[in-house]
Amino acid sequence: MNPRSPYVHRPSSIHRLNPLTKGVLFLCTVVIAFATSSLTTVLALLGAVVAASAAARVARELARTVAKSAFVIVALIFIVQGLFYPGSRTPLYVVGPLTIWQEGLRFACFTASRLLAIIGATVLLMLTTRPEDLVSELMARGLSRKLGFVVLMTMQIIPNMQARAAAILDAQRSRGLETEGRLIQRFRAFLPLMGPLVVGSIISLETRSLAIEARGFSSPTKRVRIEDIPDTRWESLVRWGASLATFGFVVWRLVRWISSLIR
Amino acid sequence: MQATGIKGTAAKTTAAATARADGKSETVERAGSLDTAGIILEDVCYEYPGGVAALKGISLRISQNETVAIIGENGAGKTTLAKHLNGLLKPTSGRVFVDGVDTRGRTCAAMARLVGFVFQNPDDQLFQNQVFKEIAFGPRNLGYPADKVERLVKWAAGLVGIEGLLERHPFDLALAQRKLVAIASVVAMDTPYVILDEPTTGQDYPGTQKLATLVAKLHAAGKTVIAITHDMEFAAAHFARVIALAGGRVILDGTPNEVFSRPDELAMASVEPPQMARLGQRLGLEECVLDQEALLRALGLV
């Protein structure tokens, strides 16, 4: 298991869902959030994410992670759109030389909710699903082993590199490299950091691939799975239903868009 | 601090304020007066951001020119303790002074003038395309002129026995050699205190002997050498003082003879005394013997 994955183990029905079901629902959420232009739909998605996180007992973790990753950008959206949204006509407040526009705020509400729904769905998926399980389920359904390995490695490499970067930074600071303070100083600290980081990552990647090859990674025999991940008929129904509904929604949006162009 | 251990005999060491290694080493500049000289830890506690309490009240004094081995099982707090000595970590509570300088007020880079720290994994440290440049990186950071840098590089390479590798690319070398390069690159900064984190890991016998010689030469040059090690033979043979940590506390502190004659406390630290000490204990010897000569003497065979 990867100790650095944000996965939080809780006894909940959401956790017990087949990873593929969660993956499909996540993708549907993202697609709908992008395809829609209605605030109500986006808020409904956001509500669904929050409700699902409560059912999974990870509402607090979700709130904390989303707040940490989205706070600055949401604040920026409100400031920029509220003040400078093109075509604004209805002033809401006037503070000195600045005018906050109603249209801008409405657009900011929509964009921020859409962003929060997407980030929330992503975080919820990560909190309730082990990446190993998701990839293993995909591989059982025909994803190539090499691609599965690449996906898993990519998910692990960023926290791995962060930990290594911290160790390298410590080693170079101990040799008198000033890494705190002015920008130019921090920039000068960059090179001694990058060298070991890149070389070390290549070396560890090579070692890792040799190690998994030594355990028969590319052996052509048929695989069995250590752990069977349960799947039920109704989950399969949910997946198909959600996929079809999302597909239908996108088609409907396209038709409306094209007909509006024609008219 | 709970002092179940033996009181350290550290104070006997007198400061060799301006000692030189065969006249080749640079003068060691000592900032502190007599009562502030050395490394002083006052009830140091440290808790990692995740909430793990790694150090639980450590009070220590390491005098100038001491050689100290820090032992204890993985997770006992050895590396965390060492990282406090050069300001990489600042205590959650308590204080650390190096020659009278409080580490809380200094960046790690500023402390690097006083305390050199060699990391366990050389690959976290090496980045230049030539061993010479690698070793020169530290002294250059300290702002020394080119001729002094070159002198220091040759001196440090000589001390760890890698003079022949100066032109090579660090990543063409074997791990044990890279480790020696990493050690030389910190020794070259000519700091009065040198910390080695598990220097003997992966070294063969000649490599370990090189490190033993290094410790002796640094000591002769008036420096304080602190090593974290799992190699009890190395600790017993080449260090005048051994500190055993367990669960973030000091449980033993004394000469190798004093420390390794306490099997019960050592078991608390999950540490086995050197082989000869265990043999001596099994033979029922009163005194603690650490090497073959001492064992033979104790048995009256020489």
Task: Specify the pLDDT at position B34.
Answer: 55
Whether residue A203 lies within 8 A of chain B, CB to CB, comes out as: yes
What does the alpha-carbon distance between residue B179 and residue B161 come to, in Å, rounded to a whole number?
A: 12
Residues B46, B241 contacting (CB under 8 angstroms): no
Q: In what order do the strands lie in the sheet with B39-47?
A: B53-62, B39-47, B93-98, B101-102
Distance from CA of B129 to the nearest CA of A (A): 9
Chain B, nearest residue to A201 by Cα: B123
Residues A39, A108 contacting (CB under 8 angstroms): no
What does the alpha-carbon distance between residue A243 and residue B43 come to, in Å, rounded to a whole number?
A: 62
For residue B262, the SS3 value is coil
Q: What is the CATH number of domain B1-114+191-271?
A: 3.40.50.300
Tokens 């300088």 belong to B101
Sign of CA dihedral B53, B56, B62, B66: negative
**Percentage with pLDDT > 90 across chain B:** 68
What does the alpha-carbon distance between residue B200 and residue B196 come to, in Å, rounded to a whole number?
A: 9
Distance from CA of A168 to the nearest CA of B (A): 5
DSSP state of B105: G
Report the 10 Å Cβ neighbour count for B267.
12
Contact A199 B137 (CB under 8 A): no
The least confident of A175-179, A234-238, A248-252, B193-197 is A175-179
What contacts B89, CB < 8 A, 6 or more positions away? Answer: B46, B80, B83
Q: What is the mean pLDDT of chain A?
A: 87
Whether residue A141 lies within 8 A of chain B, CB to CB, comes out as: no
Whether residue A164 lies within 8 A of chain B, CB to CB, comes out as: yes
DSSP assignments along B107-154, one per residue:
-HHHHTTTEEEE-S-GGGT--SSSHHHHHHHHHHHTT--HHHHHHHHH
Whether residue A178 lies within 8 A of chain B, CB to CB, comes out as: yes
What does the alpha-carbon distance between residue B236 and residue A55 come to, in Å, rounded to a whole number?
A: 59
Relative to beta strand B67-71, strand B241-246 is: parallel
Q: Is the ipTM of this complex over 0.95?
A: no
DSSP assignments along B159-217, one per residue:
HHT-GGGTTS-GGGS-HHHHHHHHHHHHHTT--SEEEEESTTTT--HHHHHHHHHHHHH
Report the 10 Å Cβ neighbour count for A226.
5
Report the 10 Å Cβ neighbour count for A161.
16
Which sequence spans correspond to the domains of chain B?
A: 1-114+191-271, 125-184, 273-302
For residue B53, the SS3 value is strand
State pLDDT tens for residues B260-282: 999 889 998 899 999 999 999 89
How many CB pairs lie under 8 A apart between chains A and B? 74
What does the alpha-carbon distance between residue A48 and residue A39 come to, in Å, rounded to a whole number?
A: 14
State pLDDT tens for residues B218-252: 999 999 999 999 999 999 999 999 999 999 999 99
State pLDDT tens for residues B201-219: 889 999 999 999 999 999 9
The least confident of A136-140, A199-203, B135-139 is A199-203
Distance from CA of A170 to the nearest CA of B (A): 7
Contact A196 B113 (CB under 8 A): no
Question: Given a cut of 70, is residue B11 above it in pLDDT?
Answer: no
Interface test with B, best of A168, A173, A174 (most B CBs within 10 A): A174
What contacts B77, CB < 8 A, 6 or more positions away? Answer: B46, B54, B55, B58, B245, B247, B248, B249
Q: For residue A175, which residues of chain B lie inside 8 Å, CB to CB?
A: 112, 116, 125, 137-138, 141, 185-186, 189
State pLDDT tens for residues A98-151: 888 888 899 999 999 999 999 999 999 999 998 888 888 888 888 888 888 888
Largest CA distance in chain A: 73
Closest alpha carbon to B224 in B50, B54, B40: B40
What does the alpha-carbon distance between residue A139 and residue A223 come to, in Å, rounded to a whole number?
A: 10
B212: which 2 tokens? 């033993």
Contact A196 B189 (CB under 8 A): no
Residues B102, B96 contacting (CB under 8 angstroms): yes
Interface test with A, best of B111, B113, B125 (most A CBs within 10 A): B125
The full length of chain A comes to 263
DSSP assignments along A36-57, one per residue:
---HHHHHHHHHHHHHHHHHTT
Chain B, nearest residue to A171 by Cα: B125
> Which candidate from B88, B112, B126 shows the least CB-CB separation from A176?
B112
> Which candidate from A174, A181, A194 shows the least CB-CB separation from B88?
A174
Closest alpha carbon to A26 in A143, A124, A140, A138: A124
Chain B, nearest residue to A163 by Cα: B124
Distance from CA of B276 to the nearest CA of A (A): 36
User: A26-30, A84-88, B291-295 — which one is most confidently predicted on average?
Assistant: A26-30
The residue type of A80 is: V
